Amino acid sequence: MIELFSVTKRYASGQVGLDNVTLKIDAGQMVFLTGPSGAGKSTFLKLIYCEEIPSSGSILVNGRNVSSLPRRKVPYLRRTIGVVFQSFRLIPRKTVFENICYLPRILGSSAQEQKELAYETLRRVSLSHRMNASPHQLSGGEQQRVAIARALMNQPEILLADEPTGNLDPELSEEILRLFLEINGQGTTVIFATHDRDLIQRVGRRVLTLEAGQLTGDQKLPGELNDAIGPGQGTMGPGQGTIDLEEEA
Ligand SMILES: Nc1ncnc2c1ncn2[C@@H]1O[C@H](COP(=O)(O)OP(=O)(O)OP(=O)(O)O)[C@@H](O)[C@H]1O
Ligand SMILES: [Mg+2]
């Protein structure tokens, strides 16, 4: 569960990133975060994974106050949170396997463990056949799926996505969105930031709207895609609630 209590983030430059935001996101929820450029979407996500600290207010992630977390404890928090960015952020000269095994390797997993986990995780994003490819040999949508696999390697409780479809065309964007819905259906809490309201229009989940750092909307969209996918609010166990990505393509 993620809880924000009167959270304000004012940058050193004086810019307000977030302005007195209070809200709660239950474990297993899928939430969209929307609003125009500069509204505070990235700030919101950075505060949750402790890339930034709030100027005032507090943030609880799974009951732990992360707004006052000592720097040395941040890596432990990050192990429970996966993050995906618009620009994929893959290491160009490494293979898909090496890219996604970075963290397990430094955490001391054996080569065999890394291989099994990598294969299993790539299978979740339908890319197990590209394990030894380099990022430049993959399409944009495939690169983003690798980035999602990398975020899933730690089996995070929370998956944060900052404009993950920002560099993709509408068709691929929907494919990536469906993948996030599927991951959510397997129990992971997902926060998906996007300014693309058309993309989320049909999904039927909770939508938080930010404007100039303030939370100006918190609504539940009715949606057709939602019905095709099922409840997906974290009540299903792993492996259940899986949707076929081709189904409606
Ligand atoms: N590191 C920083 N230093 C100073 N100001 C910042 C910093 N990061 C963000 N801001 C400011 O905080 C406000 C919110 O920015 P943020 O990046 O959170 O918006 P956003 O909703 O993610 O926008 P976009 O859709 O363009 O990604 C903006 O006014 C921005 O200029
Ligand atoms: Mg942003």
**Residue 81's beta-bridge partner residues?**
158
Q: Same domain, yes or no, for 249 and 137?
A: no
Kindly identify the ligand whose nearest atom is closest to the C-alpha of 162.
Answer: 2
pLDDT > 90 in the chain, percent: 71
* pLDDT category of residue 82 using cuts at 50, 70 and 90: very high
Note the pLDDT of residue 244. Answer: 32
- Comparing 133 with 199, the larger pLDDT belongs to 133
Note the pLDDT of residue 232. Answer: 41
Kindly identify the ligand whose nearest atom is closest to the C-alpha of 17.
Answer: 1
Residue having the nearest C-alpha atom to atom 4 of ligand 1: 11
Q: Same domain, yes or no, for 142 and 170?
A: no
* pLDDT category of residue 237 using cuts at 50, 70 and 90: very low
In single-letter form, the type of residue at position 72 comes to R
Residue having the nearest C-alpha atom to atom 28 of ligand 1: 38
Domain boundary among 105, 135, 155: 155
Note the pLDDT of residue 88. Answer: 92
Note the pLDDT of residue 224. Answer: 67
For ligand 1, mutation pick of 42, 55, 210 (most atoms within 8 Å of CB): 42
β-bridge pairing 2-10 and 16-25 = antiparallel
* Residue 141 backbone phi and psi in degrees, to 5: -65, -40
* pLDDT category of residue 233 using cuts at 50, 70 and 90: very low
For ligand 1, mutation pick of 21, 41, 45, 87 (most atoms within 8 Å of CB): 41
Q: Same domain, yes or no, for 161 and 101?
A: no
Note the pLDDT of residue 210. Answer: 97
How far does residue 43's CA lie from ligand 1's centre (Å)? 6
Q: Same domain, yes or no, for 32 and 42?
A: yes
Given CA atoms 22, 53, 154, 177 in this order, what sign does their dihedral have? positive
Return the CA Rg of the chain.
18
For residue 44, which atom of ligand 1 is closest to its CA?
18
Query: Who lines ligand 1 at CB under 6 A?
Result: 11, 13, 15, 17, 35, 37-43, 195
Q: Same domain, yes or no, for 115 and 101?
A: yes
Residue having the nearest C-alpha atom to atom 10 of ligand 1: 17
Residue 29 DSSP label: -
pTM of this prediction? 0.88
* pLDDT category of residue 225 using cuts at 50, 70 and 90: low
Note the pLDDT of residue 246. Answer: 32
* 83 within 8 A of 149, measured Cβ to Cβ: no
Token pair 């950075």 is found at 46
Distance CA 14, CA 220 (A): 33
Q: What CATH number should be reported for the domain holding residue 53? A: 3.40.50.300
Q: Same domain, yes or no, for 150 and 162?
A: no
Residue having the nearest C-alpha atom to atom 16 of ligand 1: 40
* 38 within 8 A of 211, measured Cβ to Cβ: no
Distance CA 153, CA 59 (A): 25
Residue 137's domain spans which residues? 89-155
Note the pLDDT of residue 245. Answer: 31
Residue having the nearest C-alpha atom to atom 25 of ligand 1: 37
Q: Same domain, yes or no, for 196 and 234?
A: yes
pLDDT per position as a tens digit, 194-224? 999 888 887 889 999 999 999 999 999 887 6
Distance CA 56, CA 68 (A): 11
Distance CA 139, CA 144 (A): 9
Distance CA 21, CA 4 (A): 7
Domain count, the chain: 2
Q: Same domain, yes or no, for 166 and 48?
A: yes
For ligand 1, mutation pick of 15, 46, 215 (most atoms within 8 Å of CB): 15
Q: Same domain, yes or no, for 167 and 131?
A: no
Distance CA 42, CA 47 (A): 9
* 232 within 8 A of 57, measured Cβ to Cβ: no
Of 39, 5, 151, 176, nearest to 90 by C-alpha is: 151
Domain boundary among 136, 155, 174: 155
Of 92, 94, 78, nearest to 151 by C-alpha is: 78
Q: Is the pLDDT of residue 107 over 60?
A: yes
Q: Same domain, yes or no, for 71 and 3?
A: yes
How far does residue 228's CA lie from ligand 2's centre (Å)? 30
